[in-house]
Amino acid sequence: MKMKTVSSAVLRRFAALGVILLCASTLSAQKRPYPTAAQLAPTPPMGWNSWNHFAGKVDEADVRAAAKAMVTSGMAAAGYKYIVIDDTWEGQRDAQGFIHPNSKFPDMPGLIAYVHSLGLKFGIYSSPGPRTCAGYPGSYGHEQQDAETYAKWGVDYLKYDLCSYGEIIHKAAGDDLAKNLAMQKAAYEKMHKALESTGRPIVFSMCQYGTDSVWKWGAGVGGNLWRTTGDINDTYRRMAAIGFNQAGLAKFAGPGHWNDPDMLEVGNGGMTDEEYRTHMSLWAILAAPLIAGNDLSAMTPVTLSILTNREVVAVDQDRLGKEGDRVWQQGPLQIWAKPLAGGAEAVGLFNTSYNPHIVTFKLSMIGFPAGAHLRDLWKHEDVQATNGEYTVELPRHGVVMLKVTR
Ligand code: GAL
């Protein structure tokens, strides 16, 4: 009798386990687990954003033209895939509180479907504050609704810009820095959780201008990339001030979580081609997101060749996901290096002065043997070190970018 009782209890347990397993497998068939950060952004995101060129004037036609040009120009084939509308798309909220685009974007789902039909991905912009930086409605108090709207529209990327939430923090926290930081973290985490709850994979780009050592906590609140600086503009002076100031941040970047020294200005007209090569080289060595900010539908061949230099893009997108750092500096000359998969190293020789300068790169600076192999990534040709040294003239504000292999 006793035996019988035991065996029926065991049977009941097996039956219960079966039901649990069945439920779990049905659930997992319905809802896939949210991708990890490293799956969402295994390498620094590449794409285009409307702000640097179009700013507040951007409309649907501009975005369609950018998406089309990304494909026809060869940018997409070189790795660029996100088409991101920055600030000024936002319209009014309806009676239920859902956001609608303004008259510049009459059919957002249609526009997003068009971008997707080209094989590209789509990004949008908002703020945790009541107003965006350009004064349009932000997500304050509507975070969950906005995340659901973005997911419904088919958004794949969100740039979330602190803007007016900074004032709310300031009012609530005053000089209490710990509270200020806690409020920033909570605001970003709230939107990250809201995005996650939709089940749609959406890359989360944090923009709070690189304050409060965001690189130390950005990943912890769900950021896949975070701005490390204030805004870039289309001058060598500003680009260089930002780019050469990134030293020391390498250890905070990696697959799924990237330092973002702001978008590219390549092709916007304020720098020389050589300065744009410097911009592109430095961003690649920094494993920075490569978000073009020019008018893709009206690029010169030189602009296109800078943005799509496969050997330079490959440095940025290297699967090891290590950010580079400065290894040597003397006066206006700087040498930066980025470890690559397979033990190679990308090296940028930079001249920040108004005059040309000769620089000597020693293989020992990166711990490589004298016989290592060198390739110039802008000339697309192999070059020769002599006795472990490579001496070359750098144009004003110029660069030589090398790949060094053992
Ligand atoms: C700034 C941001 C820029 C751009 C702009 C839009 O705060 O840094 O990249 O998004 O807002 O208003």
How remote is the CA of residue 162 from the centroid of ligand 1, in Å?
Answer: 9
**CA dist 201 → 41, 82, 367 (Å):** 10, 13, 40
pLDDT single digits (tens) 249-265: 999 999 999 999 999 99
Atom of ligand 1 nearest to the CA of 227: 8
Residues touching ligand 1 (Cβ under 6 Å) are: 51, 86-87, 132-134, 161, 163, 207, 231
How remote is the CA of residue 103 from the centroid of ligand 1, in Å?
Answer: 21
Top mutation candidate among 161, 208, 242 for ligand 1, by most atoms within 8 Å of CB: 161
Q: Is residue 154's pLDDT more than 50?
A: yes
SS3 content of the chain, % helix, strand, coil (to 5): 40, 20, 40
How remote is the CA of residue 135 from the centroid of ligand 1, in Å?
Answer: 11
How remote is the CA of residue 120 from the centroid of ligand 1, in Å?
Answer: 23
pLDDT single digits (tens) 393-403: 999 999 999 99
Concerning whether 59 is annotated as a catalytic residue, the answer is no
Top mutation candidate among 126, 231, 242, 265 for ligand 1, by most atoms within 8 Å of CB: 231
What the block records as the tokens of 191 is 């939107």
Q: Count CA atoms closer than 13 A to 102's CA, side-chain side.
A: 13
Q: Is residue 284's pLDDT more than 50?
A: yes
Concerning whether 231 is annotated as a catalytic residue, the answer is yes
Mean pLDDT, residues 186-191 taken together: 98
pLDDT single digits (tens) 16-52: 544 444 444 444 445 678 999 999 999 999 999 999 9
CA neighbor of 149 nearest in space, from 186, 197, 82, 116: 197
pLDDT single digits (tens) 349-393: 999 999 999 999 999 999 999 999 999 999 999 999 999 999 999
**Domain edges within the chain:** 37-316, 325-405
Top mutation candidate among 51, 132, 291 for ligand 1, by most atoms within 8 Å of CB: 51
Atom of ligand 1 nearest to the CA of 132: 12
Mean pLDDT, residues 207-228 taken together: 98
For position 25, what pLDDT does the model report? 46
Identify the CATH class of 325-405. mainly beta
Q: What is the mean pLDDT of the chain?
A: 94
Catalytic residue among 59, 231, 273, 376: 231
Q: Whose CA is nearest to atom 8 of ligand 1?
A: 231
Mean pLDDT, residues 106-125 taken together: 98
Instruction: In whole angstroms, give the CA distance from residue 165 to residue 183.
Output: 9
Mean pLDDT, residues 184-188 taken together: 98
Other Cβ atoms less than 10 A from the Cβ of 225: the count is 26
pLDDT single digits (tens) 315-335: 999 999 999 999 999 999 999
For position 32, what pLDDT does the model report? 77
Give the percent of the chain with pLDDT over 90.
Answer: 92
Pick the CATH number of 37-316 from 3.20.20.70, 3.40.640.10, 3.40.50.2000, 3.40.50.920: 3.20.20.70
Give the percent of the chain with pLDDT over 70.
Answer: 92
Q: Is residue 108's pLDDT more than 60?
A: yes
**N- to C-terminal Cα separation, the chain:** 76
- At residue 150 the predicted structure's pLDDT band, cuts being 50, 70 and 90, is very high
**CA dist 196 → 32, 34, 103, 183, 200 (Å):** 12, 7, 29, 20, 7
The pTM score is: 0.92
